[in-house]
Amino acid sequence: MPWHKAACGWAIFLLLTSLAPPQPAAAQGSEEPTLGVRDLVFFGAAAGMYLAPGLLGIDGRQVDCGPCDSGSVPFFDRWAIAEPRSFWSHASTGLLGAIAAVTWWDLAKHDPAGRTKILASAESAAVAAGVTVLVQEVIGRDRPVFHTDAASGINPDDVRPSFPSGHSAIAFALATSYVLSRAAPSGTARVGAIVAAAAVAVLRVASARHFPSDVVGGAAVGVGSAVLVHSIRF
């Protein structure tokens, strides 16, 4: 499943969870999530950015070279040009799902306002995904595969542009949101979340799905999205 569809699925799941009837508070100071105007704005903005390229007609790309000249790729990215490696690509997607599952489970278990914090995490990921799709289509950078001999067999319309990396953006949004959400997570938990997000970025390069600068850009989008959501929401 493409990462953007998986991200939308997670966002819808959390949205429905937040609308569920509230349960009795289990601990003093617990807080039940409420879906307010800010939440609708975050999800609406994310959806708007996701749909904007199609509505504005900027989602069509022309890739006439096959393979394209690798000399047009900056020297610090050129070494990553290779044909896609499916195993590492699937591994990055699996690790991304694990980051969401583990951080949300920990928030639900240890934070009295866990469900509210999980909703904030989902919003951070949704905003990161929306920004990624919009920037990808505006910049329109070709993926590494278009600089290999396999380019002739690929339809550009079936592959989103390369910069920034969506997996990396969502992974860092989830990790950053987790670090900002937990009142007192252990140092190991903080470091583990960031290391896992960085591992997703590394796997995206190892799978030849992205250039190194793509995952750096994705990490910046993810961190920025989480910081924005938390600064406004809390």
* Contact partners, residue 110, CB within 8 Å, separation at least 6: 182, 185
Query: C-alpha angle with apex 8: 6 to 9, nearest 5 degrees?
Result: 60
- For the cut 70, the answer to whether the pLDDT of residue 79 exceeds it is yes
Compute the average pLDDT of residues 21-27: 40
Per-residue model confidence as pLDDT tens digits over 106-121: 999 887 888 899 999 9
How far is the C-alpha of 47 from the C-alpha of 15, rounded, in Å? 13
- Outline where 19-80 has alpha helix (H): 37-56, 75-78
130-144 per-position pLDDT tens digit = 999 999 999 999 999
* pLDDT number for residue 67: 86
pLDDT tens-digit map of 169-220: 999 999 999 999 876 567 788 899 999 999 999 999 999 999 999 999 999 9
pLDDT tens digit sequence for 141-179: 999 999 998 887 787 767 889 999 999 999 999 999 999
Contacts for 210 with CB less than 8 Å, ≥ 6 apart: 80, 143, 144, 162, 165, 167, 168, 204, 218
In sequence order, what are the residues at sequence separation of 6 or more whose Cβ sits closer than 8 angstroms to the Cβ of residue 119?
14, 17, 18, 33, 35, 39
